[in-house]
Amino acid sequence: MSNQVVISKFGKSKEAYSIDILKWLIREANSLDDITKAKQYIHSYFILYSNPHGVFMWRPDIKNFEHILMKNIDFSANIHRAIKIIFTHIWDVWCSEDWNVTEYIIKWFAGVASAKKIYSLLYLKSGQGWSKGIITEFIQQYVLDILPTRKGDKQYFKQLNNAMKYPRVGKAFYAYLKAIADKYPDFDGNPPPMIVSKQEHIVSTLPPLFQFIKETYIAKTDYITTCLPVHSILYVTYTSYCENRRITPLSKVVVARTLSSELNMTSNVVKINGKCTRVYNLSRKTLYEKYLSNNWIHETNEIDIEEIDIPKKSVSDPKALDQFLAQIGIDIPNKQKKSSPPVPSKSEQK
């Protein structure tokens, strides 16, 4: 019979769950390794859910899941602390303690865990030894700006490793993500948050046309006109800028179209010295605001315009993670980050 039992992935089986098959698989097991097939059979029909506590059962007869409430199911305090350590690693190391980015990534993983369509990808960039993959490997096993301050911190990664290997923490973490996905059903990955490394990449790869405008009409304090002739001044200055840098300039038509689509800059015709001239009516302040809204201004540019307050980097609330998890109905014991990691007892390791 063992060879006749076909174990499908969760939610894929066409046969109804049978307690008799499970009992038979358990009886036939001669060792702990043999019991794996019985566990796989259970996992093909049931999955834990944390809010409210219970399980989802796959029902082939209705081709859907049945949510079964279980009042006596709960995760231990140690499991909660282990999951908190994992989330804290994402906050501290992945996101440089930026809560906006942390919240986005947690929701992103929750959406992926719930098989939602997510319109973005996560790209991690750092040096070696900063453990980019430790979280993704953990999530891949159970579910599907890197800060270098922890590099070489053996005690820290021992704590994180213990948390990830704690019994049942993988299933509990998956249950957390399912609860988060249900709390935020409209999350689809858009718009992604702006992070320091992303803005630095945007600023460093700014096309020559926009770099020219930035250097010529925003960075220089002597630009005060609001009537900038398109052909006789702007384009001539732009082509000279490109020639000095050995860059092929765009044509007048492409420049006009690009400024219109990217910066919403439109020109109009006025008379200058009795001659009809096409001009842009833009002040230095207006140009600066447009660049600022596109994240084309970096703090190292040192551009100061009195009328505009440069947005400062928000300081994350150290309690933000606890507050976020509390909103989805999961109560985690309030432990400081430096508390000892949960270590499985000998009975739990068996």
Q: State the pLDDT at residue 209.
A: 92
DSSP 283-334: -HHHHHHHHHHTT---GGG----TT-PPPPPPPPPTTHHHHHHHHTT-----
pLDDT of 46 > 60? The answer is yes
Taking residue 346's Cβ as centre, other Cβ atoms within 10 Å add up to: 6
SS3 89: helix
Q: State the pLDDT at residue 92.
A: 82
Q: State the pLDDT at residue 190.
A: 84
Q: State the pLDDT at residue 241.
A: 92
Identify whether 191 is preceded by a cis peptide bond (ω within 30 of 0): yes
Q: At what angle do helices 154-164 and 77-89 cross, to 10 degrees?
A: 130
Q: State the pLDDT at residue 277.
A: 83
Q: pLDDT band at 90, cuts 50/70/90?
A: confident
Q: State the pLDDT at residue 21.
A: 85
Which tens digit of pLDDT belongs to each residue from 283-310? 888 888 888 888 888 777 767 676 666 6
Mean pLDDT value across residues 241-267: 90
End-to-end CA distance of the chain: 28
- Which residue intervals of the chain bear CATH 1.10.10? 207-295
Which tens digit of pLDDT belongs to each residue from 212-247? 988 888 887 776 666 777 777 888 899 999 999 999
Which tens digit of pLDDT belongs to each residue from 318-332? 788 888 887 776 544
Place of tokens 């506590």: 53
Q: Which residues have C-beta within 8 Å of that of residue 233, sequence separation ≥ 6?
A: none
Tell me which architecture the domain covering 207-295 has in CATH.
Answer: Orthogonal Bundle (1.10)
Rg of the chain taking only CA atoms, in angstroms? 29
Q: pLDDT band at 139, cuts 50/70/90?
A: low
Q: State the pLDDT at residue 179.
A: 82
Average pLDDT, the chain: 76
Handedness of CA 207, 208, 211, 217 (dihedral sign): negative
Mean pLDDT value across residues 58-69: 80
Q: State the pLDDT at residue 341.
A: 46
DSSP code of residue 84: H
Q: pLDDT band at 146, cuts 50/70/90?
A: very low
Instruction: Give the Cα separation of 178 and 344 in Å (integer).
Output: 25
Q: State the pLDDT at residue 4.
A: 65
